Amino acid sequence: MKNHYKIICDQCGKEFWRENKQQYRKDRYKHIFCSRKCQSLSRTMAITKSCAWCKKNVTRTQAELNKIKRKSQNIFCNNSCAANYNNTHKTTGTRVSKLERYFASELVKMYPDLEFHFNRKDAINSELDIYIPEFKLAFELNGIFHYEPIYGKKKLSQIENNDKRKFQACIDNNIELCIIDSSGFTYFKPKKADKYLEIVTDIIDMKLFKKELNPN
């Protein structure tokens, strides 16, 4: 089968072969099928499943589900649900403290209708511990490394300069940045963490209350 490529049908999952030039055509379409029958079925067959985040019913074609299964076992009703799920289940890519993980798991349960971005750089091109796009509100949990030279004065100076740049970037982007001094948090206990979590929830509740008073 020289100059041929093995492809999987997005509808039935069957493997089939295509010539080289036909393989390149695949990138021009959302799905590829082994036959016109599968192509036709993909337009008519709809399956309802639960969103992995909010549990609402989501209707997808079999072709769409097959494509999803090759990447992940989860489906979502929108990008917001996908972002919230991926952020709270992320295991690689950033150094996240136990306190930050605890905040991420608790906040999405307490405020299921709010979109949270945890440890992402999309708002100011620099990582923010917590960012709520709807309110343009961000939180930074600054541990002891932000205040004392645990790894030397040079490292502390670098951290301080980065904090200043981050603060200025938030101002430039009209983002309200709340800095929480968590340097006293030396070991993780939920009861201890709740003291810091309450600071965040009080501010969020205030924003929600103002939104209710002025919905427009």
pLDDT the model gives residue 47: 72
Q: Which residue has the higher pLDDT, 11 or 161?
A: 161
User: Over 60: is that where the pLDDT of 94 sits?
Assistant: no
How many residues does the structure list for the chain? 216
Domain with CATH 3.40.960.10 in the chain: 79-213
- pLDDT confidence band for 27 (50 / 70 / 90): very low
Q: Which residues contact 104 (CB under 8 A, 6 or more apart)?
A: 87, 88, 96, 116, 118, 130
51-55 LR contacts (CB < 8 Å, sep 24+) = 51/75, 51/76, 51/77, 51/81, 52/76, 52/81, 52/85, 53/77, 53/81, 53/82, 53/84, 53/85, 54/81, 54/112
The model's pLDDT over 154-185, given as tens digits with 9 standing for 90+, comes to: 989 999 999 999 999 999 999 999 999 999 88
Pick the CATH number of 79-213 from 2.30.40.10, 1.20.120.530, 3.40.960.10, 3.40.50.300: 3.40.960.10
The per-type count for the chain, helices as H runs and strands as E runs, is: 7, 8
Give the DSSP H or E segment for 3: none
Least confident of 34-38, 166-170, 205-209: 34-38
CB 203 within 8 A of CB 164: no
CA distance 132 to 84: 11
User: Over 70: is that where the pLDDT of 54 sits?
Assistant: yes
Whole-model pTM: value is: 0.57
The model's pLDDT over 111-157, given as tens digits with 9 standing for 90+, comes to: 999 999 999 999 999 999 999 999 999 999 999 989 998 878 898 99
Radius of gyration of the chain, Cα coordinates, nearest whole angstrom: 23
Q: Which amino acid is at 80?
A: S
Least confident of 26-35, 78-87, 97-106, 168-177: 26-35
CB 137 within 8 A of CB 207: yes
